[in-house]
């Protein structure tokens, strides 16, 4: 019997639990565009869908190589790597996985704030290295009761604010416009927000509109005791300016889950013991990746059954 499973291209490294589920329903071509363009050219006329991650690049040039492409399913809330305008022009649907990861990414942001303020990773290293025997570790900074600035008050930003309330933090935010439905203080300008914050947490979408939004001026405003946390996209922060600010003490510290050129992290950041670094794990728990995988699969399933997809990206709603 001929293989009747629809052909699908995986655009980037995806979590194994999702890849396994994809194999059950589709004829999967894993990253052929990167590893074997000639093989991709042979199967290109068959490929009807792309499975991508939040970090994947799905440019218009890739879509143009796939004449039967009708659907891009992103495992992630962010889809800044997908050329949505090109997809729209070709009649290609794009879906993502909002909401199911709000708690996880918000938990990660709070974890990075605590780790950077209280220096928990350094404290762990202190004990393991036997340094406690020589005396107490240097004092750190208090998080409870301090001032939080949130850059981007979307679904995840609000989940971060909910948690910060329990820490007695005063909460302000910046976004394209003030939100009517929140009790937090709106600050129109990100430099002003930074100047009024002890912690600046970045959770705004990536892409051209926010590229290097957190620049030298913002970091300067956050100041020598300020802490920057980025759980959005590396592209939102000017990494060169960040390294310079951390080096010369213009900025107090940072907790970073995302970087400009993942998985490559600048050596200068790795050499700073007071900076907390994690490998883009904002949504990376068994439970949340399962929920994201289920939603991404259900979007594909609905599409191939001729039904409305569950979570199209806003531009294609
Ligand atoms: C990744 C993310 O998508 O949701 C996003 O936008 O950045 C992450 O959750 C995740 O790494 C899946 O690949």
Q: Is 13 a residue whose pLDDT tops 80? A: yes
Q: pLDDT per residue over 123-174, tens digit each?
A: 999 999 999 999 999 999 999 999 999 999 999 999 999 999 999 999 999 9
Cβ–Cβ < 8 Å for 157, 173: yes
User: Helix 155-166 vs helix 102-118: angle between axes, to the nearest 10 degrees?
Assistant: 50
Q: Is 101 a residue whose pLDDT tops 80? A: yes
Judge whether 280 counts as a catalytic residue.
Answer: yes
Is the preceding omega at residue 263 within 30 degrees of 0, hence cis?
yes
Q: Please give the distance, rounded to the nearest whole angstrom, from the Cα atom of residue 282 to the centre of ligand 1.
A: 7
Judge whether 274 counts as a catalytic residue.
Answer: no
In CATH, the architecture of 102-277 is: 3-Layer(aba) Sandwich (3.40)
- pLDDT tier for residue 209 given thresholds of 50, 70 and 90: very high
Buried b (16+ CB within 10 A) or exposed e, 290-311: ebbbebbbbbbebbbeeeebeb
Atom of ligand 1 nearest to the CA of 53: 13
Length reported for the chain:
317
- pLDDT tier for residue 4 given thresholds of 50, 70 and 90: confident
> Strand 47-53 vs strand 93-95: parallel, antiparallel, or unpaired?
unpaired
Cβ–Cβ < 8 Å for 185, 213: no
Cβ–Cβ < 8 Å for 247, 268: yes
Q: Is 294 a residue whose pLDDT tops 80? A: yes
Atom of ligand 1 nearest to the CA of 289: 12
Asked, colleague to colleague, whether 7-100+287-316 and 102-277 share their fold, the answer is yes
* Residue 29 DSSP one-character state: E
Q: Please give the distance, rounded to the nearest whole angstrom, from the Cα atom of residue 49 to the centre of ligand 1.
A: 19
Kind plus residue range of the DSSP H or E element containing 305: none
Collapsed DSSP state (helix, strand, coil) of residue 160: helix
Q: What integer pLDDT is reported at residue 2 of this predicted model?
A: 57
Top-level CATH class of 7-100+287-316? alpha beta
For residues 97-123, give the mean pLDDT.
Answer: 98
Q: Is 3 a residue whose pLDDT tops 90? A: no
Judge whether 46 counts as a catalytic residue.
Answer: no
Q: pLDDT per residue over 37-69, tens digit each?
A: 999 999 999 999 999 999 999 999 999 999 999
Query: 54 CB under 6 A from ligand 1?
Result: yes
Strand stretches in 93-178, DSSP E = 93-95, 147-151, 170-174
Give Cα 231 to chain centroid, integer Å. Answer: 5
- Ligand 1, pocket-test mutation among 13, 22, 75, 291, most atoms within 8 A of CB: 75
For residues 299-305, give the mean pLDDT.
Answer: 97
For residues 26-33, give the mean pLDDT.
Answer: 96
For residues 221-238, give the mean pLDDT.
Answer: 98
Nearest to 228 by CA among 280, 274, 175: 274
Q: Is 1 a residue whose pLDDT tops 80? A: no
Domain residue extents for the chain: 7-100+287-316, 102-277
Q: pLDDT per residue over 239-268, tens digit each?
A: 999 999 999 999 999 999 999 999 999 999
For residues 216-234, give the mean pLDDT.
Answer: 98
């Amino acid at each position: 019997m001929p293989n009747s499973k629809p052909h699908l291209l995986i655009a980037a490294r995806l979590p194994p639990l999702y890849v396994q589920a994809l194999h059950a329903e589709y004829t999967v071509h894993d990253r052929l565009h990167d590893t074997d363009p000639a093989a991709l050219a042979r199967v290109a006329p068959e490929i009807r869908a792309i499975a991508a991650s939040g970090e994947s690049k799905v440019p218009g040039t890739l879509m143009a190589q796939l004449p039967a492409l009708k659907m891009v399913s992103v495992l992630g809330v962010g889809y800044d790597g997908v050329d949505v305008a090109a997809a729209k022009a070709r009649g290609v649907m794009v879906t993502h996985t909002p909401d199911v990861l709000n708690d996880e990414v918000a938990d990660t942001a709070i974890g990075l704030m605590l780790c950077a303020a209280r220096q928990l990773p350094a404290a762990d290293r202190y004990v393991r290295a036997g340094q406690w025997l020589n005396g107490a570790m240097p004092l750190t900074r208090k998080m409870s009761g301090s001032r939080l600035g949130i850059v981007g008050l979307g679904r995840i930003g609000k989940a971060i604010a909910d948690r910060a309330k329990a820490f007695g933090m005063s909460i302000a935010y910046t976004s394209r416009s003030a939100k009517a439905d929140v009790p937090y203080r709106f600050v129109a300008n990100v430099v002003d927000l930074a100047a009024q914050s002890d912690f600046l947490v970045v959770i705004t979408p990536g892409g051209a509109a926010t590229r290097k939004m957190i620049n030298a001026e913002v970091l300067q405003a956050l100041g020598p005791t300020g802490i920057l946390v980025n759980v959005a996209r590396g592209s939102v922060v000017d990494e060169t300016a960040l390294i310079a600010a951390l080096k010369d003490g213009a900025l107090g510290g940072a907790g970073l889950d995302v970087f400009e050129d993942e998985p490559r992290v600048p050596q200068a950041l790795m050499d700073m013991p007071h900076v907390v670094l994690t490998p883009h794990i904002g949504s990376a728990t068994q439970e949340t990746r399962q929920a994201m995988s289920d939603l991404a699969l259900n979007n594909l399933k609905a599409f191939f059954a001729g039904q409305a997809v569950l979570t199209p990206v806003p531009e294609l709603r």
